[in-house]
Amino acid sequence: MGNIVCLSTSNYHPYPTRKQNVMNRLQHAEIIYFDPPISYLAPLKDRSLKPRLRAWRRGGEQVGEHLTVYALPPVLPFGSRYRWLNRLNQRRQARYIRQVLAEQGFSRPLLWCYSPTAADLVGLLPHGAVVYDCVDRHSAYPGMINAQVVDNMERKLAEQADQVFCTAAGLYDTLIRYNPHTALIPNGVAYELFVQAAGPKRSEGPPRFCFVGMLQDCIAYDYLLALADAFPKAEIWLIGRAMPGVDTAMLAAKPNIRLLGLRPQQELPELISACDVCLNLFAPSRLSQDVSPLKFYEYLATGKPVVSTNEPLQVRDYADLVYIAEDIDDFLAKCGRALAEDDPALRQRRMAAGQAAGWDNRVRQMEAILAERGLLDQSVARE
């Protein structure tokens, strides 16, 4: 059995993203999953984060037969703004990670990285191979970062990696220049879970639209407000929490918009099954054009009509299955068409596309590439 160390950008709990879905499905590997560190500054902005300052002291949590989760120690802020600070942070992280690897008997694991900041970490850790799995245009995120610093770190990490995966064509076009061993594998869906929301067209209750996902800066809120005005008898369910700094007051002021907050993933199929149309809404930006939204593939698995903005660019691959809006007026017209849709054959085609995008298929693609290149064999068995 090989060893994998996952340096994640998402906590293992509570909501599964690409990182958890991939690690949970990798076969024949003993895996240590490191939750990302928070900065010492973070609890000053969000007091709920204060317990995470000490989470790393709790040690590991066994979450699966071959998967253990650890938290990393906190870091100094602004590591994505000043490279020297990132190097300082990564030296501290490396000391802790080496200690965990020694305790677990990992000698030369495969390092599976998700953040450009790992460019200054991998050289400090024993390893047999390096994978960089790029899921976002990291330098396009808002906040206290320096885009050039982040891009330079990403380039170094990609050049160091033995294999690069990425989730969108725009990311591929960038990363292939740094590493010829780059493969495009979009995000996926827990198909067996979300197909539970499939069924015939609803015949009772008010028309209902749903949006699933975090309410963050890149969402097209003007589309939601226009939808609420254009369909006053319809309900609009927003399922997900608002990120810090996002003002939801204008949404909450609409009587037919319901802010349902973050819900456990297991509850999502029941909520989506009570809706008629699913919404995928991103405002144009350098960040949103290259995202690979999990919600989009989850929607497909339900078979329900999907109305999407023109971004991310990935939705254009499914133009024959979803309604893609060019502007707000077009969006409202297509929401009306989606509400009226009653096409069992189209529903089945969406579900088939969702099944093809299942996480099992995505991870088997990754494993096949790594196995062909002999990289999974680079991580030795536990001592």
Q: What is the pLDDT of residues 286-295, one digit of tens each?
A: 889 999 999 9
At 377 the pLDDT is: 60
Task: Indicate the pLDDT class of residue 1, thresholds 50, 70 and 90.
Answer: low
Q: What is the pLDDT of residues 133-183, one digit of tens each?
A: 999 999 999 888 999 999 999 999 999 999 999 999 999 999 999 999 999
Domains and CATH numbers, the chain: 2-188+358-375 (3.40.50.2000), 191-356 (3.40.50.2000)
Paired with 129 in beta bridges are 110
Q: Is the pLDDT of residue 383 over 70?
A: no
What's the mean pLDDT when you consider all of the chain? Answer: 94
Paired with 113 in beta bridges are 7, 132
Q: What is the pLDDT of residues 303-349, one digit of tens each?
A: 999 999 999 999 999 999 999 999 999 999 999 999 999 999 999 99
DSSP string, 210-227: EEES-B-TTB-HHHHHHH
Q: Where are any strands of DSSP class E within 235-380?
A: 235-239, 257-259, 277-280, 306-308, 323-324
Task: Indicate the pLDDT class of residue 215, thresholds 50, 70 and 90.
Answer: very high
Among residues 250, 223, 257, 251, the alpha carbon closest in space to that of 329 is found at 223
